[in-house]
Amino acid sequence: MSAPVEAPLTVSLVDPQLAEAASALVEKLVTDEVASKLARQDDTLWGPDAQDEASKRLSWVTLYESSKPLVERLTALRGDLHGEGVDRVVLAGMGGSSLAPEVICHTRSGSAVGGRHPITVLDTTDPGQVRDALAGDLSRTVLVVSSKSGGTVETDSQRRVFAEQFAANGIDAASRMVVVTDPGTKLGDQAAEQGYRATVEADPAVGGRYSALTAFGLVPSALAGVDVGGLLDEAAAAAPELQRDSADNPAIQLGSALAAAHNAGAEKVVLADSGSGLVGFGDWAEQLIAESTGKQGLGLLPVVVESPDAPGFADHGHDATTVTIGPAVGNAQIATEGSLGAQFLLWETAVALAGRLIGINPFDQPDVESAKQATRDLLDGDGTTGTDEAPVLVEGGIEVRGEWLRSPSTLVEALGQLIAEAPDGGYVAVQAYLDRLDDASAEVLRPEIAKNTGLQTTFGWGPRFLHSTGQYHKGGHQNGVFLQITGSVADDLAIPDQPFTFGELQHAQAAGDAQVISQHGRPVLRLHLADRAAGLVALTNAVAEVRR
């Protein structure tokens, strides 16, 4: 269950040294009246280079008010759909267009109702995972197609295949499509031309990762039955406190602590839930933190871990700051507590403030495009998808690739070579271009690597993480090493009217991102699993033997 609307919002700086280091920054923010200026949407707060972008990105500070008119409209739309027996919501969207509704729906419904989540979030190109979503009861399904730009390839591909399958099942596809997009996008035009059920235009003056309380967060959540008016009320209750130029302002405390830690070399922010009741909040915060700050060789690397007892949190070193979502427990240096709406606004404000203190523009994502371009080049090229360069080694059905490798004779040796490339205080990023549901066991790799190597270790599902930590890996501190995992596709899926399949797209995304990371001079160990289940077991066993 969620906290009541008026539940206090608190940030506790539990670590006295960190609190001491943050205090000078707190004082500076208060003296410069940054919180109240931000509340007035002052676009000069991040310096002249960021002003143009900031001038188009600050409406999130008042969404708890400006989004209110949506509530009635969405309640009516849900009522109409339910009246027609349409009560299954599938969300096609990436990054800022899917992370918030996932947290909102899972938080508000408990972890699952009758074993079934009220929403299926389809932020993937994995053919098996897309097939599973299509295999649900289409006669009861509405597809929410969410894209700010209206041009994101994953989202467009999901829209195409659902439209095709609705039609194939004798369902009027247009009547089952609800679009969320900015005014004037290609997606909006398509929706109008094809007579989609509804188009809800989002506030264009809010960036994707700050859009939790815009139509992007609210439309899918309301259709899935969440009281989104209550969520806005929670944010509204917290807003006055977050806008005060006071040393007690929780966002000033949190932003200052994160920036002070960053500036002292603890740029990893290890996030663990400690019983907040907010389900998956770290995954949402991950995009906000990484995309907002990871640029110019600076920034905060979010490391979302399984619990406060997990490796990386319980045994963190000087390169990391530990934060609980929920009460302070164990090794927590910072704890944030409050309702979901309040925590959204807290973290958005704190990250914007930390951006000013670190000296970056928190509203752009300059390095995201490079991976997208590399993917397009691969798909436009000869149709190969990056797994065909000869492997350095094949062991138990796992193909091992990486030009930088020094002739490893076993998988354990290849993994050891990757870990040895990480500098002290570096990190390991595990990037699994697999099925987030069927291949969920891959997630065990994160704690295992962190425990065995002592390095902070992140885990991301591809291509989902490209819209989250992807910016940081290319734009942030260049001290990461990358373990990329792809898997063979048993039953590929065509994307209607596209020259590539979901499987080809997924592999091109992996290959394209590996290319760009390599161009940044960082090592990528690419593992391709001929048999996903057996490969994950073999890989887990190999990882257990790797030490730093």
Residues that bind ligand F6P (CB under 6 A): 94-97, 147-149, 152, 155, 208-209, 291, 365, 368, 467
Given the structure tokens 């934060």, which residue do they identify?
Answer: 323
Residue 97 CB, nearest distance to ligand F6P (Å)?
A: 4
Tell me how far the alpha carbon of residue 114 is from its chain's centroid: 27
> For residues 356 and 292, is the Cβ–Cβ distance under 8 A?
no
Nearer to ligand F6P, 208 or 250 (CB): 208
We find the least distance from the C-beta atom of residue 399 to ligand F6P, in angstroms, to be: 28
By beta-carbon proximity to ligand F6P, the closer residue of 86 and 215 is 215
291 vs 439, which CB is nearer to ligand F6P?
291
d(Cα 427, Cα 444) in Å, to the nearest integer? 17
| Order of all β-strands in the sheet with 398-401 | 393-395, 398-401, 524-529, 480-487, 427-433, 456-461
Whether 269 contacts 320, CB under 8 Å: yes
- Shortest Cβ 480–ligand F6P spacing (Å): 18
**What's the rounded Cα separation, in Å, for the pair 187 and 152?**
10
Return the number of the residue (185 or 256) whose C-beta is nearest ligand F6P.
185
Q: Whose Cβ is closer to ligand F6P: residue 261's or residue 432's?
A: 432
Cβ nearer to ligand F6P, comparing 56 with 318: 56
Closer by beta carbon to ligand F6P, 147 or else 453: 147
For ligand F6P, give the closer residue by CB, 349 or 509: 509
Count other C-beta atoms under 10 Å from residue 83's C-beta. Answer: 8
Kindly list the strands in the beta sheet with 119-121, ordered across the sheet, starting from the edge strand earlier in the chain: 119-121, 88-92, 141-147, 177-181, 198-201
Smaller CB separation from ligand F6P, 94 or 237: 94
Shortest CB 418 distance to ligand F6P, Å: 25
Cα-Cα end-to-end distance for the chain: 42
Contact 473, 458 (CB under 8 A): no
C-alpha 101 chain-centroid distance: 12
Q: How many CB atoms lie within 10 A of CB 381?
A: 10
> What one-character-per-residue DSSP string does 321-356 give?
EEEEESS--TT-SEEEE--HHHHHHHHHHHHHHHHH
For ligand F6P, the closer of residues 208 and 355 by Cβ is: 208
Rounded (to 5) percent helix, strand, coil in the chain: 45, 15, 35
How far, in Å, CA of 475 to CA of 449, rounded?
A: 24
Nearer to ligand F6P, 153 or 536 (CB): 153
Shortest reach from residue 99's CB to ligand F6P, in Å: 8
* Residue 139 CB, nearest approach to ligand F6P (Å): 28
Question: For the residues of 4-27, what is the DSSP string, one character each?
Answer: PTTPPPEEEE--HHHHHHHHHHHH
Give the DSSP H/E element, type plus range, for residue 178.
strand 177-181
User: Do 263 and 370 form a contact (C-beta atoms < 8 A)?
Assistant: no
Query: Which CB atom, from 267 or from 367, has the smaller least distance to ligand F6P?
Result: 367
Smallest distance from ligand F6P to CB 144, Å = 12
Q: How far is the CB of 14 from ligand F6P (least distance, A)?
A: 32
Q: Which is nearer to ligand F6P, 313 or 344 (CB)?
A: 344
- Rounded to the nearest whole angstrom, what is the least distance from the CB of residue 422 to ligand F6P in the complex? 25
Minimum distance from residue 237 beta carbon to ligand F6P (Å):
27
Burial of 547 (0-12, 13-18, 19+ CB in 10 A): exposed
Type of residue numbered 242: L
Question: Contact 362/46 with Cβ under 8 angstroms?
Answer: yes
Residue 151 beta carbon to ligand F6P: minimum distance, rounded to whole angstroms: 7
Half-sphere exposure of 44 (CA within 13 A, CB side): 4
What minimum distance in Å lies between the beta carbon of 533 and ligand F6P?
30
Give the DSSP letter string of 62-80. Answer: GHHHHTHHHHHHHHHHHHH
CB of 85 to ligand F6P, least distance (A): 29
Query: Amino acid letter at 452?
Result: N
